[in-house]
Amino acid sequence: MLRLRQHRWPDGVRCPGCGSPAVVRDGCDDTQPCRQRYRCKACASRFDDLTGTVLAGHHQPLRVWVLCLYFMGLNLSNQQIAKELGLCGSDVQAMTEQLRRGLAAKTPEVTLKGEVEADEVYVVAGHKGQPAAVAKRGGLGAVASWQARQDAAR
């Protein structure tokens, strides 16, 4: 938790509500003693090391969240993750949804620029690999010319 604190607040703890550096320690979490609580002198709000993060508001230890994220990276299903962590499926479902939302919120918006090239376009979806179905309106000549082009390409 100390590393998380140092990474989150490299210049000292600040209130996530008002941004004030005037904070005092206000005990520790009852279930996780390593999670420090704070009180802001400026706005009187209370917060802890995880307030304002994707991990806030849950009572699972940080190590469980990190393991869950690791298992997600291994592409395990929620059911497999639940079995590995010894949790119920609905808890893991909530955790993975929250982690995905947090990751998606940090992903920058994609902006395309410059020239765009498309290799293939399928006009009729669902007919890939079935040229006769695509060329149905073109008659048998269209199918034969497609076969000739396909053979010439090989």
Question: pLDDT tens-digit profile of 35-57?
Answer: 788 999 999 888 887 787 777 76
Higher pLDDT, 7 or 68: 68
> What mean pLDDT is predicted for residues 109-125?
71
Helix 89-106 × helix 78-85 angle, to 10°: 120
What's 138's DSSP letter? G
pLDDT given at position 82: 96
CA dist 128 and 6 (Å) reads: 54
**How many C-beta neighbours within 10 Å does residue 128 have?**
11
Higher pLDDT, 118 or 98: 98
pLDDT higher than threshold 70 for residue 143? no
Report the pLDDT averaged over residues 73-92. Answer: 94
